[in-house]
Chain A
Amino acid sequence: MNISILNGRLIDPANGIDDTLDLHIQGQQILAIGAAPEGFEAQETIDASGCIVCPGLVDIAASLRDPGPGRIDLASETAAAARGGITTLVCTPDTQPVIDTPAVIELIHRTARKLRRTRVLIAAALTQGLDGQQLANMAALARAGAVALSNARHPLANTLVERRALEYAATFGLTVMLRPEDPHLRAGGCAHEGAVATRLGLPGIPSCAETVAVARDLALAEHTGARVHFHALSTSGAANQLREAQAAKLPVSADVAAHQLHLTEMDIEGFDADCHVSPPLRTLADREALRQAVADGTIAAICSDHQPHELDAKEAPFPETAPGISGLETLLALTLRLVDEGVLSLTEAIARVTCGPADLLGLPHGRLGAGSPADVCIFEPDTPWTLHRSALCSEGRNTPFDGWEFEGQVTHTLFNGRVVYRRDAREPTQVTSN
């Protein structure tokens, strides 16, 4: 189908575009920006007046729970992604079974292709079964389409295994996504080791659990020459270490979860299990340092760190609840909030969720050049709306942002030239009436 998106403010950070321009789509690709080519006839036109048209979002790390037990699956989560304006998702390998064989990759790809809502890419397991012991068949996983390797939230306690994993991955030029956390220093903690956890008597996870791991990982990255990407940084110390490593020309990068840029340890007051996340919400100073690192490009990607859970997982005393936030449907809104708060320009904000993450993994997505896949997000930047957990598309309703007012709501998401989400103007639970 040929589609024209008219009258929108088109922002494509990868190509330095920020102008009122039309966008024309032919089949699965972007045909032209600006005037329609001669002879082009659109079967559908979308009036994007008052809206921003940008590349479909690229989420560099989301747990999609499929394959796995329970109601959370690719159908529900890709629907949530589409509603959030996300057209490329990198799925972490912590599924059941773990993504450590080409067969599981093929299964996920096949299901995603059938659903046709968003592109699902795979960060495959770094070690078999994510056990941190035996290296996964990385070359075979890469041949099957894995775009990176990761041990998800499972720690690599053995430094020698980590060294070998980085060396082996570097053999094939594969990026290794590490979630830096020393499991011994974590020691069963469930909240940032700070004033709030001390008062609430919650076992703490010190900041050094992250900085010690980053220091170790950086030393191994330098030694092995591997391309290392840190997933979900949470501390100012780690951001500073990363900045120094990048200045020293090490091939290292990082992302931060969107919620870490807005919440702090104070938000767990009252044992709010929706704010139980891993890594834990840190101090205000950490949050400000992370914001600074995102602003100066040290951290080039903001991700959802989507961790959907069924209701029961959060219905227990705080330490016994499952950590994580269902983040796909708030990624854009939380990122745009950084613009309102003066942290990022609008172009920078969009870059951090489009070409920023794509570039880190060498992906061609997150941009709107002619010939690119027609992945497009259209959103109203100024319409206020209220998030209600009951209205989430994701089967994971675990969000601390229930009741938050946002500006910047997706009206359309196009994936490979198809409209895969179109906001229903009658969505009364989402849109604030005012």
Chain B
Amino acid sequence: MASDRRQNIQLTPDGRLRHFLTIEGLSRELLTHILDIAESFATLPGRPVKKVPALRGRIITNLFFENSTRTRTTFELAAKRLSADVLNFNASTSATAKGETLLDTLRNIEAMHSEMFVVRHSQSGAAHFIARHAAPGVSVINAGDGRHAHPTQAMLDMFTIRRHKGDFTPLRVAIVGDILHSRVARSQILALNTLGVTEVRVVGPRTLIPTEARALGVHVYHDLDEGLRDVDVVIMLRLQKERMDGALLPSESEYFRLYGLTNKRLEAAKPDAIVMHPGPMNRGVEMDSEVADGPRSVILQQVSYGIAVRMAVMSLCMQTHAEERGEA
């Protein structure tokens, strides 16, 4: 008999989004719906008033157990553009650092009548755990948990790809770098496959590719030139410095020589291929500055699209709960 922990907790029985924890289990239609809603929010920065009243009076809490300025800021901005009130709770310097359990922290913030938690945590499954224990009517959005998932990052990447490429189905996409430790890559792979791309490739040394990577639905390459051949989209992943210390890589210089993206190497990809990076980027390690600042780079657009995508996800989840409460 399956435990309740194995049930799909992020969807209502009729398939609406209650939490946003992972791309896994979401349909192509739902992902496309999120992108469509994000499209409507993407025009806001060009308007005189950059806010909509969708979540006026609602309280959203950024619950960050792991430091992240960029992601937290874009979630905060997204919430504010939806007219919500935002609490920022930096758990690494607050109660949990003093020994309070995760559940106690959750209960305390629920007592402040927050209706949505945006959660970042260093452990895989943390967002699922919080969603399982959150009070009814509270949504949880995963802002990155361990190596597991970073679904809003994946969706903003999909948004970026759609804006530049239109249809997903003919695309070949290469994801380059530390797949093993990357929650972003896992979510991107799921999203790309759900949206029906022709091929997802992962490229990197064996030490940074999961042994069961093919089970994710990807083709594995260890040679960058081969991996980039004829691709439409190149996604470079951030390489964390500590990978040098864990016997995963011998040196940054060797990594750059083998897997660093340069204009020369990019010639293997299609002429109109775009280059992406979830940031923050290590210039000269993952990518040459010529590429990062070059005409094919869409890295800064990714950041700005992130706000629209996060607004879309927040408003969808909140709408589901409002309907369940009979408010909508």
Taking Cβ atoms with an 8 Å cutoff, the residues of A that contact B are: 193-195, 197-204, 206, 269-274, 312, 315-320, 400, 402-405
Contacts and interface: CB of A to CB of B under 8 A. Distances in A.
B5 A199 contact: no
B6 A319 contact: no
A315 B103 contact: yes
A153 B147 CA distance: 26
B183 interface: yes
Contacts of B216: 198-199
Contacts of B1: 403-405
Interface string B75-109: 00000000000000000000000000111000000
Interface residues of B, number: 31
Interface string B118-136: 0001011110110001000
B146 A201 contact: yes
B124 A271 contact: yes
Contact of B3 (A201, A202, A206, A400): A400
Given A201-B146, A201-B147, A402 B3 contact: yes
Interface stretch (B163-171, B206-214, B221-229, B255-263): B206-214
Contacts of A198: 210-213, 215-216
B267 to A, nearest CB: 32
Nearest to B123: A317
Contact of A319 (B125, B149, B212, B215): B125
Which residue among A194, A312, A316 has the maximum number of chain B CB atoms within 10 Å of its CB? A316
A271 B212 contact: no
A402 B1 CA distance: 8
Given A195-B215, A199-B216, A272-B6, A316 B124 contact: no
Please classify the interface of chain A as helix (H, G, I), strand (E, B), loop, or mixed, using the class held by over half of its residues.
loop
A204 B128 CA distance: 19
Contact of A270 (B7, B186, B215): B7
A318 B101 contact: no
Contact of B148 (A193, A202, A274, A402): A202
B232 interface: no
B102 A317 contact: yes
Contact of B183 (A201, A272, A405): A201
Nearest to B7: A270
Contact of A272 (B3, B145, B211, B215): B3
B254 to A, nearest CB: 22
B296 to A, nearest CB: 29
B211 A316 contact: no
Contact of B129 (A206, A269, A271, A403): A271
Nearest to B190: A199
B215 A202 contact: no
Given A315-B103, A317-B102, A319-B146, A200 B3 contact: no
Contacts of A405: 1
20 contacts: A193-B212, A194-B212, A195-B212, A198-B211, A198-B216, A199-B186, A200-B124, A201-B145, A201-B147, A202-B124, A204-B210, A270-B5, A270-B128, A315-B102, A315-B133, A316-B101, A316-B102, A317-B121, A317-B124, A400-B3
B147 A202 contact: yes
Given A202-B147, A206-B211, A318 B6 contact: no
Contact of B124 (A269, A318, A402): A318
B24 interface: yes
A273 B5 contact: yes
B56 to A, nearest CB: 33
Contacts of A201: 124, 145-149, 183, 186
Nearest to A400: B3
Nearest to B6: A270
A269 B215 contact: no
Contacts of B148: 200-202
Contacts of A269: 6
A262 to B, nearest CB: 12
Contacts of B103: 315
A317 B129 contact: yes
Given A204-B210, A271-B5, 18 more contacts: A193-B211, A198-B211, A201-B148, A202-B146, A203-B124, A206-B211, A270-B6, A270-B7, A271-B124, A271-B125, A272-B3, A312-B101, A315-B103, A317-B123, A317-B126, A317-B145, A318-B125, A318-B129
